Structure 1
Amino acid sequence: MEITDVAVVGRDIPLADDFPVSYEDHRTTDHVFVRLHTDDGTTGDGEGTALPWFTGETTRSMVAFLDDWLVPRIEGSTVEDATRELATFGSDFPHNAGGKAAVELALLDLQSKRAGVPLWELLGVRHRETVPCVYPVPGLSPERAREVAESGVDAGYRRFKIKATGDIPPDVARIDAVLDQLPADATARVDANTGWETYPRAKRAITAIADTAKIEYFEQPVAPDRPEDLQKLWEDTGIPVYADEFVHAPGDVERIGREGLARGCHLKLAKTGSLRTMADMARIADRYRLNATAVSAFGTSLEATAILHLAAVIPAIPAACELDPTLLADDPTDDPLVVGPETPVPDGPGIGVSLDDSLFE
């Protein structure tokens, strides 16, 4: 099977609603989409979603990287040669996770379609047929955050994620408001996106929360260059702490497990640039008895479904994973993923979601 054409499209997609986080009042997301055409008429679709504050990438930089560097290396080659070229070039050429991820997903889509199997079969052994998911609560005012949480409860969710913005008094008020709204069988994880910065500030925020009984864990409350603070917060508060911004590669998971820095870690395609690498990181986490949370960070239904396949093969996940394409105002796919408290993993060939043809016109 030879790749006869590679189509690349970049798009900034607005969010469906305001989504304040510690970095900014988030309003748009950065995406690059790839479609591989082969000589037998098969197509493979891929997506790269950038998180500029994590990797420095943007829509325009992802498109330029693909057009100038990666597409010329795979166009006209077989799928097998393109896969090898991506692995070699990806290790030699640093960064650019979004562009690499888009091409790898498109190749995986092609390979699993050709084999007639769902994507998860190329990633590992399936541990679950459905994936539990959380309901996100942005860094809004306590009143609005409570309303968002109430919508999630009404939809049947019992696992929530509350964003903190780094401003401790409003963060605590928001967390208290949401926790008070949740039923007795519900839990929430709190994501500060490094916004509490240091151990003293994070400890002050955590101890100010009225009732932490429903808190599942705190996600990266401190700066990524302070991994020891994660461990100290976990030890001193008794509440699990997970690493996110600290985790970009398998070696980071190894360090967390070896040094006991956190209870778990977050795996994102925008950081690693490879779904296969994420599967390897999940297996490393399992060796150290760490949980691994699979996350689609503002991806469309294409990326979110790929992460769903990954979540199916992760040995140990926490209470729920994170994927919600409805956060976007536009989802340019042919069959948008419907996410619920328990989301089924597709069992057809490939990723199971294709990009809309109009995207490439």
Structure 2
Amino acid sequence: MKITRIVAYQVDLPLKEGRYAWSGGKAVDVFDSTVVAVETDSGITGYGEVCPLGPFYLPAYAAGARAGIVELGPQLIGCDPRELGQLNDRMDRCLRGHAYVKSAVDMACWDILGKVAGLPVCQLLGGRFGEDVLLYRAISQRSPAEMAENVRQYRDEGYRRFQLKVGGDPDEDIERIRAAAGVLQPGDRLVADANTGWTRHEAVRVVNAVRDIDVYIEQPCLSYEECLSVRRLTPHPFVLDESIDGLQPLLRGHTDLAMDVVNIKISKFGGLTHARQARDLCVSLGIAMTLEDSWGGDIVTAAIAHLAHSTPEPLRFTSTDFNSYVTVANATGAPQREGGRFSASGEPGLGVTPTDAVLANPVLEVA
């Protein structure tokens, strides 16, 4: 089997809430997603998706994903999409860095492998653990009262994990954490995610001010070293995200006891192949994980579900269902939330088919 053509499609994903805001005044109204189709000489096509969280979150941006595919795509024509180790080695040799560019291609090739094998991707990634996957809801940065009300509303919809977007003014963030914690019920979990937004002294102020609250602290500062210093000053469970983008940072974090939970984002690692490597390393080391991506629609949501569902439950802290945040469906067959949980599809591959509207407007083709 050989890759014969790679086609990319651009899809706007407007938000149901109208606006998603996080640290440092960053906000997005419409997410710019790229759907990639990898076609083969056997007639089987796989689909992937990459959707950076704007150009100011990680070193990634939407137009860059498409430009990178123009650069990388010709080097992949003629490759066997089922040989994922070789494919990723070739991508890494032909394009240094730019993990997010490779993510949708790798995802599409996992889709092909599942279709060829007649198995859902989660079985190929290690098997299906449990009946479903527990989800979190991200709470966009607003006033403390509004964020607490959002937590209450989403709890009524079945969510039990809440990720507060903080990383703003420390005094207001302290109020945000206290207000949200005040509406929780037994069994709920609250994460205060600063997305690198605090300086070290601000982070220390916040964690000391909320010592009496049951809350996880996520990525308070920009650098790993700053986060580690804050970690050593707080009794709260600690999550690292932006600082952990490969196996070496992950091993360093484990050695330094820098985190209790790590966030594995598919596109941050370069696709399901490398995300699985990181996941399996975490399983071996006993590190709990949030399994997700930067953002996306139905195809990314399906990939998240397969990665999460193939992860042992004791180390599966949470995941998320991005397709429930947006107003546009870019595929059918994706998992849909039920009571704060979802399940990976049992169909071969990712179990999704892009909608006709998506496939009608290709923005680039490599053959």
| TM-score (normalised: structure 2) | 0.89
Report the secondary structure of 1:271's partner residue.
Answer: helix
Q: Which piece of structure 1 moves more, 160-169 or 110-119? A: 160-169
Does structure 2 conserve the Cα–Cα contact (< 8 Å) formed by 1:279 and 1:314?
Answer: no
Contact 2:174 2:210 in 1 (8 A): yes
Change (3 A) 1:41 1:263: same
The one-character-per-residue Cα deviations of 1:71-99 (angstroms, maximum 9, x if unpaired) are: 21223444346862442232452222222
Measured at CA, do residues 150 and 320 of structure 1 come closer, stay the same or move farther in structure 2, by a change above 3 Å?
A: same
Which structure's relative contact order is higher, taking Cα pairs within 8 Å and 6+ residues apart? 2
Contact preservation (8 Å) 2:35, 2:47: yes
> What TM-score do the two structures reach when normalised by structure 1?
0.91
Alignment-derived partner of residue 73 in structure 1: 75
C-alpha distance in structure 2 between counterparts of 1:80 and 1:283, whole Å: 20
- What residue ranges of structure 1 are gaps of 5+ in the alignment? none
1:188 to 1:4, Cα distance in 2 relative to 1, 3 A: same
The CA deviation string for residues 334-359 of structure 1, in whole angstroms up to 9 with x for no partner, is 23431242212222211012211321
Counterpart for residue 348 of structure 1: 347
Distance 1:185 1:124, change over 3 A: closer
Q: Is the 2:82–2:110 contact (alpha carbons within 8 Å) kept by the matching residues of 1?
A: no
Q: 1:210 and 1:79, CA in 2 relative to 1: closer, same or farther beyond 3 A? A: closer
Asked if residue 212 in structure 1 is aligned to residue 213 in structure 2, the reply is yes
Instruction: Please state whether the residue corresponding to 1:57 is helix, strand or coil.
Output: coil
Structure 1 position 329, deviation (Å): 3.0
Per the alignment, residue 322 of structure 2 pairs with: 324
Q: 1:271 aligns with which of 260, 268, 288?
A: 268
Task: Provide structure 2 residue ranges, at least 5 long, that are not aligned to the other structure.
Answer: 361-367
**1:185 equivalent among 184, 187, 211:** 187
Q: What RMSD in Å do the two structures reach over aligned CA positions?
A: 2.1
Match of 1:247 among 238, 244, 247: 244
Rounded to whole Å, the distance in 1 between the matches of 2:228 and 2:270 is 27
Kindly indicate whether residue 207 of structure 2 is the aligned counterpart of residue 223 of structure 1.
Answer: no
Cα distance, 1:318 vs structure 2: 4.7
- Tell me if structure 1 keeps the 8 A contact 2:335–2:342: no
- Aligned letter for 2:51? T
Q: Is the 8 A contact 2:119 2:348 kept in 1?
A: yes
The aligned residue for residue 203 of structure 1 is 204
Seq. identity, %: 26
Q: Provide Cα deviations, 1:17-60, integer angstroms capped at 9, x if missing partner.
A: 21110140222323221112233332211111223334432222
Does 1:360 find its partner at 2:359?
Answer: yes
Distance in 1 (CA, whole Å) between partners of 2:303 and 2:84 is 20
The aligned counterpart of 1:154 is 156
CA contact (8 A) 2:305 2:335 kept: no
Match of 2:8 in 1: 8
Aligned residue identity for 2:75: R
Task: Give the secondary-structure state (helix, strand or coil) at the position aligned to 1:285.
Answer: helix
For residues 318 and 335 of structure 1, do their structure 2 counterparts lie closer, same or farther at Cα, with a shift above 3 Å needed?
closer
Instruction: Summarize deviations over 1:260-315 as a string: whole Å, max 9, x none.
Output: 11112101123111211111112222232211210232211111111111112234
Match 1:289 to one of 286, 291, 309:
286
Matched residue of 1:106: which SS?
helix
Conservation of the 8 A alpha-carbon contact between 1:219 and 1:242: yes
Alpha-carbon distance, 1:250 to partner: 0.9
Are the aligned partners of 1:8 and 1:63 in contact in 2 as well (CA < 8 Å)? yes
- Helix, strand or coil for the counterpart of 2:15? strand
1:163 aligns with 2:170: no
Q: What corresponds to 1:56 in structure 2? A: 59
Bigger Cα displacement from structure 2, 19-28 vs 272-281:
19-28
